[in-house]
Structure 1
Amino acid sequence: MKQNDRVLALDGLRGLAVIGVLFFHDGRLSGGFLGVDLFFALSGFLITGLLIDEVRRTGTVNVLRFWERRFRRLLPAVLALLVAVVPMMYLWGSPPQLSSAKHAVIPALLYVANWHEIFQGADYWALFTDPSPLTHLWSLAVEQQFYVVWPALFLLVSRVRRWLFTMTAACVAIIITSGALMWVLYDPANPNRAYEGTDTRASSILLGALLALIGLPAIIERLGRGDGSRFHPRRVALELFQWTIVAAIAWSWFTVDGATSSGLAHGGFLLHSAGGALLAATLATSWPTTLQRVLTIAPLRGAGAVSYGWYLWHWPIYILLTSEHTGWHGWALTGARWSASLAAAVASYYLIESPIRRRQWMATNRMALAGLAVAVVAIIGTVVLAPTLTTKVASFDPRTIGLPTTTAAPIATSTTIPGDTTVPGNTTVAPTSTLPRRSIQSVMWEGDSVAFDSAPGVLAAFQAAGLTASYHGFVGTGITPRKGVDTHAIFIQPVLDEHPDVVMLQFSGWDSDFPEAEQQAAFTTYTDAILGSGAALVFVTMPPGDPAKVTTDYAYMLGLAQDLHRTRPNDVFVLDANQQLWGTFAYDITGDGVPDRKKDGVHVCPQGSALLGNWLVYQFADLFAGVTPAPAADWAGGTWTSEPRFNNPAGTCS
């Protein structure tokens, strides 16, 4: 294989990586996000190879020159994106997207976007948030931090007599430490810290670095020396080895779900990165293989050549080119997204990246610094000067919150909820007890962030009906315990302290992050405590989410609740608000032009909160004595409608 062929094959590998990410962000490849790990491993291998060559040639590393080359290669395209992203969101995005862009630009400029995401509590898997246009820059921040630290470490170690051995030992130690940190820090209900942390992701980059340090390509070259036959056993073994890795990577891309797979943090990322690093190392030899020929086909080479710009621009374009904005769906929407982001990538490559890298303009460092200063001023200017889009929460007429279409107490009997749609095959079963209805004076509403946003309207409805009502819960968690969250203190202790007559628990999709055995144990602990306190327990289904944005499954918990109702029909009830109230997902289910759901497709706006509260209080009037619903006009227009939660993120209910 010629030297140029090796470079082209690695370009093809880059192209494959970026295509995986593109398909993932389009919702078509569940494990395509692992393309980022392929980038990491490839970068670690190539950069370390360059540093080794420099130490062997000069005896040291010119760190300043290395940094200058890296920044000249990477920074201009990022600056162009950062200059453009705030105006793009102002012109075509939503208020939350503009707000998130303005907050994320400076961390992205400083290459600390990953830590910004972590400290902001952002969820990379975008389950419950309006997508931020710069959330994808976390991976570039991790790489750039590596580019700053790794050559400096090379510089220090190059002065040691056995520098290569020392660097290899240090690399192995860091990989082990990083992998252990990911294992320890992983939280299935909030995996972002483990997924985006520099300390936890260093192992993915350093696995590529390790293969460069041990000289794997040279070892393969020596093993193959003199083997000219295409069918020599060693060459056949290399072919089989490469394609086995490709098959394993492909399997992971098609089957792994990053939001729920704990195996990734427990060695999965390491295995995938090791596979990517081995592919890079075996492709960087003179042995021509079938995989090398596949990776050098023009489409993959072209994708690899513009992969950096394509990665930069694809996500902001994706979140603007949505089915809501364009009217396109399926592959038509995918084609539009790919075409627009590829056009931006090609423009970035030929107008910005390539000319600056080749010093066709901004040839001197002084010119480059001047250009940097202008870009930084422009970026800060867009953040400061961009007007804030209208974020006022839409008001509604309380008189539109009329009587529910059904006032029977529905008991969900289906045990399957596919995604976020309504419960199929659902039937309504009246309570089987012939005992007098329990008289109640107080209720408690519990749940996660969906219940939190619903709480003001729910509490207002019950208080207007003459009951004492309170809310307790926690964002980002169901009743299943997770690391760092005391679910007993959140969901059980308030019941023991306040002694409500009825506890309402809204199901949470967060419980499904855990194995069924853990959900079963949590359910038993919770229900034993609530029923043991003397309270009745009412489970309420979540509103369906926007199927284009979220996937929430609480079918297992629903089945447990149904079973418990059949065992204790006088004390446990399951109310299917999903089907009886919300129906098929819509942002405006009443059709009055006022949003009932937030733009994230999960949470509720004031009118949605009022609709749920009104529906629930009428269900309770049938189930329990002592509940007299008040007309919605008496309570649905209260000051609770302007609570800050309904404008978080800004403009989400406008």
Structure 2
Amino acid sequence: ALIVGLQAAGPVRSLLAARPFVGLGKISYGVYLYHWPVFVLIDRETWDLPVGVVLLIKSSITLVVAVVSYSLVERPIRTASWMPPRRTLVAALAGTAVASIIAITVVPATTKYYGVDSAAAEQAAIDSGPVEPLVPLSPATTTVTSVTAGAGDAVPSTVLGAESSTTLPPVTTTTQLAVPPRPVRILVVGDSTAEATGAGLVAWAAANPQYAQVSVAAGPGCGLVLIGYLELTTGQRDTDAECGPYARDFVPAKAVELQPDVVMVMTTVWDVLDRRLTKDGPLLPATDPAVEAAMVASLGEFTDRLLALGVPRVVWVDGPVPLGSLVGGDDSQAQPARHATLHRAVASVAATRPAVRVVDLAAWLHDQPIGADRSARLDGVHWTGKAALQISAEFLGAALVQAALS
């Protein structure tokens, strides 16, 4: 109707001939091109402003960027006499070819940048032979040595706390870590964040075999709350059907095989998504009390299964809130309230089980520069190998040894 109305003189043509509309038409391509990243980046801010004010801010920034682009980029290119058609075609084809090569070769190669180093995994692997049970360390009789992150690389070390409680006390990074009677056997399980974090523990244990032996048996792509259905871009996921085999079969089998002193459990983004508790039920946020109750039930069942196998200590690690993507779609997985709900569920599980501990990695990271460093979590979720090693050397390794001996 708009196009038809413009074909002859009339009110529509007169209206759109007004200078504001003509000016908007000139910069319309820039408005179309730039509005999306501007809107997304502004939406990431948590300003306490009315919706209309935020919309005005986003629109104003978009218009300013579009005007600048029109003046400095679009008009010079359109009116340039130094760029004949043939040269323009060659430049366009060359640019497209370079972009295609980068997309095909570089991007897939860097999609997964985290994971356990195979050489370190071999050095740090749990020796499942028979050993004496661990007993709490006596501060009066224990020797003390320093902890290193790798061959020749000294890092701050930690001291074990003598207090035993459900939630472990903070571990300082100003003293030294006591050597246990034998290396503590640590099995790391959970989602891909457990894999990324566990890679640092493996590297730390490989460089410090007197403290721990570490094996990672993660289930990337799976959370541990096996009640309900997730609505993913690929369709509805039955959490029990898809992730039950990992939680109910694979992890217990590994615990039986390796006989760990500690099973470290870490789960994050998959278990804070909206879910339906029944196949056709309402889609509920992770903060809903009914979902939190499902978390407690499912995580408790997972924990009880490990304890029934004779695992001496189950240590749940409260992971940090993801940083969120710089530009992207829904970042509900990076909402602190969702992770706070998951952490409460973990605390509820630990509160009624004396053999369970909670290590609050999120709280420790809150006071560390690495916690907000995007170069340490390139996708906002998973630690790089270097960052994971630093976390293990400065905090997590000692916290898990403390848990085994408390």
- When normalised by structure 1's length, the TM-score is 0.36
Residues 193 and 267 in structure 2, CA contact (< 8 A), matched pair in contact too: no
User: In the alignment, which of 563, 568, 572 is matched to residue 356 of structure 2?
Assistant: 572
Q: Give the distance between the partners of 1:429 and 1:505, measured in 2 at CA.
A: 19
Q: Give the distance between the partners of 2:390 and 2:356, measured in 1 at CA.
A: 23
Match of 2:314 in 1: 537
Residues 598 and 605 in structure 1, CA contact (< 8 A), matched pair in contact too: yes
Q: Give the distance between the partners of 2:210 and 2:160, measured in 1 at CA.
A: 18
Structure 1 residues 607 and 370, CA gap change in structure 2 (3 angstroms): closer
Residues 221 and 270 in structure 2, CA contact (< 8 A), matched pair in contact too: yes
Match of 1:555 in 2: 340
Out of 524-533 and 547-556, give the one that drifted further: 547-556
**Secondary structure of the corresponding residue to residue 473 of structure 1:** coil
Residues 595 and 605 in structure 1, CA contact (< 8 A), matched pair in contact too: no
State the 1:539 CA deviation: 0.6
Unaligned runs of 5+ in 2: 45-53, 114-148, 172-179, 231-236, 276-283, 285-290
Match of 2:390 in 1: 611
The answer to whether structure 1 residue 623 and structure 2 residue 403 are counterparts is yes
Count matched residues: 292
Residues 545 and 585 in structure 1, CA contact (< 8 A), matched pair in contact too: no
Match of 1:497 in 2: 253
Identical residues among aligned pairs (%): 20
User: In the alignment, which of 188, 191, 196 is matched to residue 448 of structure 1?
Assistant: 191
Match of 1:510 in 2: 270
User: How do 1:98-137 and structure 2 match up within 5 A?
Assistant: none
Instruction: Kindly provide the amino acid, as one letter, of the partner of residue 401 in structure 1.
Output: V
Structure 1 residues 529 and 298, CA gap change in structure 2 (3 angstroms): farther
Q: Give the distance between the partners of 1:317 and 1:346, measured in 2 at CA.
A: 19
- When normalised by structure 2's length, the TM-score is 0.53
Match of 1:159 in 2: none
State the 1:404 CA deviation: 3.0
**Secondary structure of the corresponding residue to residue 454 of structure 1:** helix
Structure 1 residues 348 and 311, CA gap change in structure 2 (3 angstroms): farther
Structure 1 residues 399 and 479, CA gap change in structure 2 (3 angstroms): same
**Secondary structure of the corresponding residue to residue 554 of structure 1:** helix
Structure 1 residues 526 and 385, CA gap change in structure 2 (3 angstroms): closer
State the 1:400 CA deviation: 3.9
State the 1:575 CA deviation: 0.7
Q: Give the distance between the partners of 2:389 and 2:98, measured in 1 at CA.
A: 41
Q: Would you tell me which structure has more strand in proportion to its own residues?
A: 2
Provide, for residues 288-343 of structure 1, a one-character-per-residue CA deviation record: whole Å limited to 9, x for no partner: xxxxx9x999768855764443333456799999x9xxxxxxx9x97777633552
Residues 506 and 542 in structure 1, CA contact (< 8 A), matched pair in contact too: yes
Structure 1 residues 402 and 371, CA gap change in structure 2 (3 angstroms): closer
Structure 1 residues 621 and 385, CA gap change in structure 2 (3 angstroms): closer
Instruction: Kindly provide the amino acid, as one letter, of the partner of residue 487 in structure 1.
Output: C
Match of 1:212 in 2: none
Instruction: Kindly provide the amino acid, as one letter, of the partner of residue 392 in structure 2.
Output: G
Q: Give the distance between the partners of 1:575 and 1:532, measured in 2 at CA.
A: 22
User: In the alignment, which of 380, 391, 400 is matched to residue 97 of structure 2?
Assistant: 380
Q: Give the distance between the partners of 1:601 and 1:458, measured in 2 at CA.
A: 20
Unaligned runs of 5+ in 1: 8-285, 288-292, 324-330, 356-361, 414-426, 431-436, 628-654
Q: Give the distance between the partners of 1:543 and 1:597, measured in 2 at CA.
A: 13
The answer to whether structure 1 residue 527 and structure 2 residue 294 are counterparts is no
The answer to whether structure 1 residue 403 and structure 2 residue 157 are counterparts is yes
The answer to whether structure 1 residue 546 and structure 2 residue 300 are counterparts is no
Instruction: Kindly provide the amino acid, as one letter, of the partner of residue 156 in structure 2.
Output: G
Structure 1 residues 385 and 587, CA gap change in structure 2 (3 angstroms): same
Give the alignment's Cα RMSD to 1 decimal: 5.3
Structure 1 residues 409 and 401, CA gap change in structure 2 (3 angstroms): farther
State the 1:448 CA deviation: 2.5
Q: Give the distance between the partners of 1:428 and 1:587, measured in 2 at CA.
A: 21
Residues 506 and 539 in structure 1, CA contact (< 8 A), matched pair in contact too: yes
Structure 1 residues 429 and 609, CA gap change in structure 2 (3 angstroms): closer
Structure 1 residues 405 and 624, CA gap change in structure 2 (3 angstroms): closer
Q: Give the distance between the partners of 1:406 and 1:597, measured in 2 at CA.
A: 26
Structure 1 residues 444 and 563, CA gap change in structure 2 (3 angstroms): same
Residues 410 and 574 in structure 1, CA contact (< 8 A), matched pair in contact too: no
Residues 34 and 65 in structure 2, CA contact (< 8 A), matched pair in contact too: no
Structure 1 residues 429 and 378, CA gap change in structure 2 (3 angstroms): closer
Q: Give the distance between the partners of 1:577 and 1:449, measured in 2 at CA.
A: 16
Match of 1:340 in 2: 65
User: In the alignment, which of 220, 224, 246 is matched to residue 475 of structure 1?
Assistant: 220
Structure 1 residues 371 and 412, CA gap change in structure 2 (3 angstroms): farther
Structure 1 residues 623 and 599, CA gap change in structure 2 (3 angstroms): closer
State the 1:508 CA deviation: 0.4
Instruction: Kindly provide the amino acid, as one letter, of the partner of residue 246 in structure 2.
Output: I
Structure 1 residues 471 and 374, CA gap change in structure 2 (3 angstroms): same
Provide, for residues 327-360 of structure 1, a one-character-per-residue CA deviation record: whole Å limited to 9, x for no partner: xxxx9x977776335522566765779x9xxxxx
User: In the alignment, which of 196, 201, 204 is matched to residue 461 of structure 1?
Assistant: 204
Structure 1 residues 466 and 586, CA gap change in structure 2 (3 angstroms): closer
User: How do 1:23-422 and structure 2 match up within 5 A?
Assistant: 306-313=27-34, 339-344=64-69, 375-381=92-98, 399-404=153-158, 407=161
Provide, for residues 398-444 of structure 1, a one-character-per-residue CA deviation record: whole Å limited to 9, x for no partner: 6342213774679787xxxxxxxxxxxxx9599xxxxxx9x995321
Match of 2:174 in 1: none
Provide, for residues 147-170 of structure 1, a one-character-per-residue CA deviation record: whole Å limited to 9, x for no partner: xxxxxxxxxxxxxxxxxxxxxxxx
Residues 597 and 608 in structure 1, CA contact (< 8 A), matched pair in contact too: yes
Instruction: Kindly provide the amino acid, as one letter, of the partner of residue 216 in structure 2.
Output: Y
Q: Give the distance between the partners of 2:159 and 2:61, measured in 1 at CA.
A: 41
Provide, for residues 528-558 of structure 1, a one-character-per-residue CA deviation record: whole Å limited to 9, x for no partner: 3223323232110113543785624322221
Q: Give the distance between the partners of 1:302 and 1:406, measured in 2 at CA.
A: 68
Structure 1 residues 467 and 385, CA gap change in structure 2 (3 angstroms): closer
State the 1:511 CA deviation: 0.8
**Secondary structure of the corresponding residue to residue 357 of structure 2:** strand
State the 1:610 CA deviation: 1.7
Match of 2:127 in 1: none
Q: Give the distance between the partners of 2:210 and 2:67, measured in 1 at CA.
A: 58
Q: Give the distance between the partners of 2:88 and 2:170, measured in 1 at CA.
A: 70
User: In the alignment, which of 362, 366, 376 is matched to residue 583 of structure 1?
Assistant: 366
Q: Give the distance between the partners of 1:491 and 1:621, measured in 2 at CA.
A: 24
Instruction: Kindly provide the amino acid, as one letter, of the partner of residue 537 in structure 1.
Output: V
**Secondary structure of the corresponding residue to residue 339 of structure 1:** helix
Out of 401-410 and 612-621, give the one that drifted further: 401-410
Structure 1 residues 3 and 402, CA gap change in structure 2 (3 angstroms): closer
The answer to whether structure 1 residue 488 and structure 2 residue 232 are counterparts is no
Structure 1 residues 585 and 300, CA gap change in structure 2 (3 angstroms): farther
Q: Give the distance between the partners of 2:17 and 2:370, measured in 1 at CA.
A: 47
Q: Give the distance between the partners of 2:31 and 2:155, measured in 1 at CA.
A: 48
State the 1:376 CA deviation: 2.3
Q: Give the distance between the partners of 2:342 and 2:87, measured in 1 at CA.
A: 60
